[in-house]
Amino acid sequence: MPERIIVTGGAGFIGRAVTGELLRRGHEVRVLDSLIDQVHGGGVPADFPAEAELIRGDVRDRDVVARALDGVDAVIHLAAEVGVGQSMYAVERYTSVNELGTAVLFERLIERPVRRVVTASSMSIYGEGLYLDADGRPVEDAERRPRVSAAEGWDPLDRQGRPLRPVPTPEWKRPSLASIYALGKYAQERQTLIMTGAYGMEGVCLRLFNVYGPGQALSNPYTGVLAIFASRLLNGQRPMIFEDGEQRRDFVYVGDVARAFADALEKPETNGEVFNIGSGRDRSVSEVARELALAMGRNDVEPEIVGKSRVGDIRHCFCDGGKAADRLGFTARKDFREGLAELAEWVAAQTAHDRVDEARAELEARGLVA
């Protein structure tokens, strides 16, 4: 049945895809977005769906949030500052937007309750993903020891110094919050499930893995890694990869993610649950950089391997999507190379400011790169 739905952060990369999916399903959509310069350059994106109502405002503004919630049936909460590295020095800003902004939203929802709230969480809350030790036992609290020489490896070891093997990370793996961004996303999760349960609403949280596709913020050096690589390649630069490039991630197409959010609004049996949303396929970061270069016609370009790590980064984390498949009915559909081709075609028509060196300098100046 069609509803009126508000999407906070709905003018962002994922938000526009979610808004479009909801409109295609016959819903009426209102978007609340602050249109910050770092993401949007201060303006409304050219591909913002014309059928959606846009309210420009900050999720921390109680009056704006109250107006945005008037007459809505459900909420998809995407509004957040995004980026692990930047969160480690812009601490007040990230904490304010992500945690206080969510608190303001729920205080207003006490007065104007809705049927359901679906909140975007992140795989970053896991810290390191799940591993198995040499005896096949699961390890939920893997940590990397500081490297004291270039000869040492990057991968976590067990307490006996034996290699650990990364495996898909399920929702039951306990959080290990390695950045201010991760802390804020976990707080958004808990606020959602606590407040919806207390005030007679339904709540669902989706832990997103690495989302990619057309529409990414190419000039934001703290956004998704594929957007950063695309910006470098578009400006004739080599993709810059920290560590040795063999860290493994799960890349999921934005259209699949939009479908997951729309589905999460509709299934009563998912109330109170948290779901991983990924492709179910892991890839090394260096492999992904080369695949994107090929898709963009730059197959002569090799990534720049930095050989240093950033505070807050993790080694391996990729998605166990079994719960989402069983309970939410979600599996990713988009072939990775097909998705890269669509991203490359879109990027070719864009202009991007490559700010990666600037962002790296910010981190190094604060001792966050080693």
203 neighbors 119 (Cβ within 8 angstroms): yes
> 233 Cβ partners below 8 Å, 6+ apart?
239, 292, 293, 296, 298, 301, 347
| Residue 186 among the catalytic residues | no
Q: What would the 3-class secondary structure string for 60-124 be?
A: CCHHHHHHHHCCCCEEEECCCCCCHHHHCCCHHHHHHHHHHHHHHHHHHHHHCCCCEEEEEEEHH
Q: How far apart are the C-alpha atoms of 10 and 218, rounded to whole Å?
A: 17
DSSP string, 327-338: II-----S-HHH
- At position 6, the amino acid (one-letter code) is I
Query: In the numeric block, which tokens belong to residue 253?
Result: 């197409």
In the set 94, 181, 186, 212, the catalytic residue is 181
Amino acid at 247: Q
CA gap 228, 222 in Å, rounded: 8
Residue 53 · residue 91 · CB < 8 Å:
no
Query: Comparing C-alpha atoms, which of 333, 308, 311 is closest to residue 321?
Result: 333
Who contacts 114 (Cβ-Cβ below 8 Å, separation ≥6)?
69, 72, 73, 74, 75, 201
Here the tokens at position 275 are 């779901």
Could you tell me which of 148, 133, 164, 158 has the C-alpha nearest to residue 248? 164
Token pair recorded at residue 204:
């669902």
* CA dist., res. 274 & res. 71, Å (int): 27
Question: Which sequence positions are flagged as catalytic?
Answer: 181
